[in-house]
Amino acid sequence: MVLNGQIYRLQHFTGPWSGGNDHFIFYKTKELVDQYQAFFIEHPGFKPEQVFELGLWDGGSMVFWYELFHPSKHVGVDIQNKRNSPCFQRYLSDQRVQDRVKPYWAVDQADSARLRQLWQTEFGKPLDLVIDDASHLYGPTKTSFETLFPLLRPGGLYLIEDWAWGHWRDFFAPDHAWVAERPLTALILHLLEAVGTGMGLIRRLHVFQGFVVVERGPGVVNGAFSLDSQILRRDEPAELKFADSTPAALETRETYA
């Protein structure tokens, strides 16, 4: 794929290909890029100036988003303890954007204090766009959401990639590394509950197979923010608590009756 003269190798999974000096490895499928195109075509007026990205791999995603929007400041973090790839470093130097495109390596997306420190140091003002393409795990993803989402301006967008991995057949294998992990779908359902509750902070959800976009509302955050504080839930009716029709559940239902 070519964007503004920069070359990206699209691939779905990590593998033996180590990249090169003239292109970036871009861990996205064409279908995902098409979904992004469809979303942003429908939002032509969205021009983010302050962008915070989680998950960089070799820097290609930072270049992609920067070339797409040309924000005033684009800061990215990645848990890998590494240096900029030759291709990425050459891009930063040739384009003279070192002050606008700033990667930070060895930063865990679950480190709330570090994320807030970087925001304060690099931005010091509300964010327009957050892109989470980091761990894709429930706990770290929720932690970084609760840290950065309140720092968005009203109307700002928070993107979460690959939320649907719990429904993809490749992840069903009993020996898969994530077999005991909680699917990220649970977090998206919590966000949907927050939209329905209507507390004013989480205004809208745009759902694609490859990503979810959470739109920030005008609500005000006082103190520490938690997603649960944005959700009201009714107690489950007693008759629904025995909806399970397994033999054990039926036996329990009969005993209860």
pTM for the model: 0.87
pLDDT above 60 for 173: yes
Question: Does 24 map to a domain?
Answer: no
Number of domains in the chain: 1
Which CATH number belongs to the domain containing residue 247 in this structure? 3.40.50.150
Burial of residue 229, with CB atoms counted within 10 A of its CB: 0-12 exposed, 13-18 middle, 19 or more buried: middle
Domain containing 235: what range?
Answer: 30-256
The arithmetic mean of pLDDT across residues 147-157, rounded, is: 98
The arithmetic mean of pLDDT across residues 32-57, rounded, is: 94
Closest CA to 1 of 52, 69, 61: 61
Question: Does 124 map to a domain?
Answer: yes
pLDDT digits over 15-36, tens only? 555 556 677 777 788 899 899 9
Question: Does 59 map to a domain?
Answer: yes
Mean pLDDT across the chain: 89
Question: Does 69 map to a domain?
Answer: yes
Question: Does 118 map to a domain?
Answer: yes
Question: Does 10 map to a domain?
Answer: no
Question: Does 18 map to a domain?
Answer: no
pLDDT digits over 85-143, tens only? 888 999 999 999 999 999 999 999 999 999 999 999 999 999 999 999 999 999 999 99
